Amino acid sequence: MRIAFLMAPEGVEQMELTEPWQAAVDAGHEPVLVSTRSGEVQAFHHLDRADTFPVDEVVGQTSADSFGGLVLPGGVANPDFLRMDDKAVAFVSSFFEQGRPVAAICHAPWTLVEADVVRGRVLTSWPSLRTDVRNAGGTWVDEQVKICDHGPNKLVTSRKPDDLKAFCAAYLDVFTEEEARR
């Protein structure tokens, strides 16, 4: 399965990109780095610059049709930049419209809030987003991983980098199950 990893050109938390990416590769999937512009993505380790990663496809020049699922890595700046980009928000929305699975960790649900896709859903995130999730019509829970199947697709969310092992296992189970169903 081709899996889109959507991020802004700067601000993604490196381990929230690299660990889910490697888990996808190890499971036989094809991760694809999608960003709002071509070139490279600058990752961070908390507030310090980390590695850069080459962009494979650009939002606006690709569509959810060519992917089986979407992963939204966190970092504080990454989802904040994404939610200000209309094409990125539309890209996220299209996965929900098409019933494709989505996974988001840490601050990434900010992009889901902007895409107006959390209403009626139960999810988790970095704790500071709980009010945003509630104001957007979602139910926030403090759990390592939450899988919500309310709506046209399954949504896998997780709180923080410490939850990455559980997040990777859960999102891969959901995506693999969805791939077998299609």
Domain ranges of the chain: 2-181
Taking 90 as the threshold, does the pLDDT of residue 99 lie above it? yes
Residue among 98, 103, 102, 146 at smallest CA distance from 122: 146
Q: Hey, which residues are catalytic here?
A: 107
**Quick one: pLDDT at residue 174?**
97
Q: Residue 147: CB partners within 8 Å, gap ≥ 6?
A: 154, 155, 156, 170, 174
Quick count: other Cβ atoms within 10 Å of Cβ 75? 28
Average per-residue pLDDT in the chain? 97
What CATH number was assigned to the domain covering residues 2-181? 3.40.50.880
| The pLDDT of residue 84 | 97
Q: How high is the pLDDT of residue 182?
A: 81
